[in-house]
Amino acid sequence: MAVVFHRFQRETPNTWRAEGAGHYFLATVIRFVASLGVACLLTLLVRFNVGSFAPGLGGSIRFAVCLWAAVALPIILESAVFIRLHRLVVVGQLLDWLTTLVATCLITAWWLGR
């Protein structure tokens, strides 16, 4: 997403810190740990047969969208209310987390279905 939306950060320069390899590494670790947590949670839901999130691709995508709507969407939108962010940066962050969650849940569904 950064490739598409990164240029809009320049429109609010006082909002952003200088970026470097350490920042990207830390962001990657945070995203990876979050994905592991999502995969563990989805595994528990599937193992305990929670009806709305049945095993398979449909239940996994439903879980990803529900989790995104319950966690990422409100956090990012509330931050955008108080932090001066370009609207397309907000859209980029929302899409970034949505794709992360969908990919994580699809990989987890594939792994559980093996």
Render pLDDT for 35-51 as a digit per residue (tens, 0 to 9).
999 999 999 999 998 87
Whole-number Å distance between alpha carbons of 20 and 27: 11
Per-residue pLDDT tens digits for 51-98? 788 888 999 999 999 999 999 999 999 999 999 888 999 999 999 999
Helices vs. strands in the chain: H and E counts, helices first: 5, 0
Q: Residue 52 contacts by C-beta under 8 Å, 6 or more apart in sequence?
A: 59, 62, 66
Q: pTM of the predicted model, to two decimals?
A: 0.87
Mean pLDDT over residues 102-113, rounded? 95
* pLDDT over 90 (residue 114): no
Q: Which residue has the tokens 């397309």?
A: 88
